[in-house]
A = this chain, B = another copy of it.
Amino acid sequence: MLSAEIIAIGSELLTPTKTDTNSLWLTEKLNDIGIEVMLKTIVGDDGARLEETVRDAMRRSDLVITTGGLGPTEDDITRQYTASALGRELVYHEYIEVALRERFKSWGREMPDINKRQAFVIDGSEILANPHGSAVGMLVEVEGKMLAILPGPPRENQPMFTDHVLPKLLALAGETSVKRRMLRVSGLGESAVDEIAAPIYKSYPTVQTSILFNKSEVEIHIAARAERRDEAEDTANEVANKLIAALGRAVFATNGETMEQIVGELLTKRGETVAFAESCTGGLVAQRITEVSGSSKYFMEGAVTYSNAAKMRTLGVDAAIFEKNGAVSAECAEAMAAGMRVYANTDHAISITGIAGPDGGSEEKPVGTVFIGYSSKDITKSVRFVLPGDRYLVRWRSSQAALDYLRRQLILK
Contacts and interface: CB of A to CB of B under 8 A. Distances in A.
Nearest to A117: B191
Interface stretch (A72-80, A86-94, A244-252): A72-80
A19 B16 contact: no
A49 interface: yes
Interface stretch (A264-272, A292-300, A374-382, A400-408): A292-300
Contacts of A213: 71
A173 B284 CA distance: 43
Given A14-B27, A114-B191, A303-B314, 15 more contacts: A14-B38, A16-B31, A19-B24, A19-B40, A38-B46, A72-B191, A73-B191, A106-B366, A107-B368, A108-B386, A278-B283, A282-B289, A282-B295, A294-B359, A314-B314
Contact of A210 (B75, B287, B356): B75
Contacts of A237: none
Number of copies of this chain in the oligomer?
A: 2
A129 B309 CA distance: 42
A211 B17 CA distance: 12
Nearest to A29: B16
Most buried by B among A31, A221, A368, A388: A388
B39 A15 contact: no
Contact of A16 (B27, B198, B386): B27
Contacts of A307: 296, 300-301
A147 B225 CA distance: 37
Nearest to A387: B107
Nearest to A366: B106
A142 B258 CA distance: 46
A226 interface: no
A287 B189 CA distance: 26
Interface string A314-340: 100000000000000000000000000
Contacts of A95: none
A287 B283 contact: yes
Interface string A162-196: 00000000000000000000000000011110110
Nearest to A72: B191
B301 A314 contact: yes
A303 B306 contact: no
Interface in A50-82: 52-53, 56, 60, 71-75
A281 interface: yes
Nearest to A368: B107
A291 B392 contact: yes
Contacts of A189: 109, 112
Contacts of A313: 343
19 contacts: A14-B37, A14-B38, A17-B24, A38-B43, A38-B46, A39-B42, A52-B60, A73-B211, A106-B386, A114-B194, A115-B191, A283-B283, A283-B284, A283-B287, A286-B306, A287-B287, A296-B306, A301-B305, A303-B314
Given A12-B221, A28-B16, A210-B17, A306 B310 contact: no
A299 B306 contact: yes
A15 B37 CA distance: 8
